[in-house]
Amino acid sequence: MSDWKKYETHEIALDQQPWYALQLFGVRQKALYDHLSQQGINVFVPLQNVDFTDREGKLRHELRPVVSNLLFIKKTFDDKELPSLLEHFKGHYFVIRKERGSQEFYQIPAQQMHEFITLCNPDLLMKKYLSEEEARLKPGTRVRVHHGPLTGLTGRLVRSSGKYYLLKEIPGMAVMIKVTKWCCEEEE
């Protein structure tokens, strides 16, 4: 199997194709990631740098998935083609739907996914990952960052442990990254 790829946001900056969120059952995330990548499909898995001690007692650093049962794929095919692309993994995944009981897949808009991928960059520090439920419970104001390295990104300005964070939600998870309150302006 190949190594995890750190997704570069410039790859989708000009693209307007939506994305799907897939929830997996079991620990086949890497196999599905490799399978789709080999077919030329853009796949994103949020990664984080993890420090661990190996068998020889040496400290190592490695990119590992933030969530072991979630991945995102870019829609470059018809909805009806998705089951055939994932036939080898039948019964091991669920495409997140628009609403409970609906047969229509939730499509994450390209701009929203671009911002989420930017915030998930493993090189950015002062970041927290949340479940959908935890993110929904966070009160905050819709803002746009107007200054600094996150200029142009949108989300909710929330407070946690006395610090301000930009919260970006997508189906399946959310990410919060530390921002200065004064660099954000309320969206209308």
pLDDT beyond 50 at 10: no
Contact 80/13 with Cβ under 8 angstroms? no
Residue type, 158: V
- The pLDDT mean for the chain works out to 85
C-alpha closest to that of 35 among 94, 77, 82, 89 = 89
Residue bearing the bigger pLDDT, 174 or 86: 174
Q: Indicate if the pLDDT at residue 163 is higher than 90.
A: yes
Q: In terms of C-beta density within 10 A (0-12 exposed, 13-18 middle, 19 or more buried), how is residue 86 classed?
A: middle
Q: Please give the pLDDT value at position 135.
A: 92
Distance CA 107, CA 95 (A): 10
pLDDT at 123: 84
**Per-residue model confidence as pLDDT tens digits over 135-150:** 999 999 999 999 888 8
Neighbouring C-alpha atoms within 13 Å toward the C-beta of 1: 12
pLDDT category, 13, cuts 50, 70, 90?
low
Q: Is the pLDDT of residue 94 over 90?
A: no
Q: Is it the case that residue 182 has pLDDT exceeding 90?
A: yes
Residue 2: the pLDDT is 41
**pTM, entire model:** 0.80
All structural domains of the chain, each given as residue ranges with its CATH number in brackets, are 1-110 (3.30.70), 124-188 (no CATH)
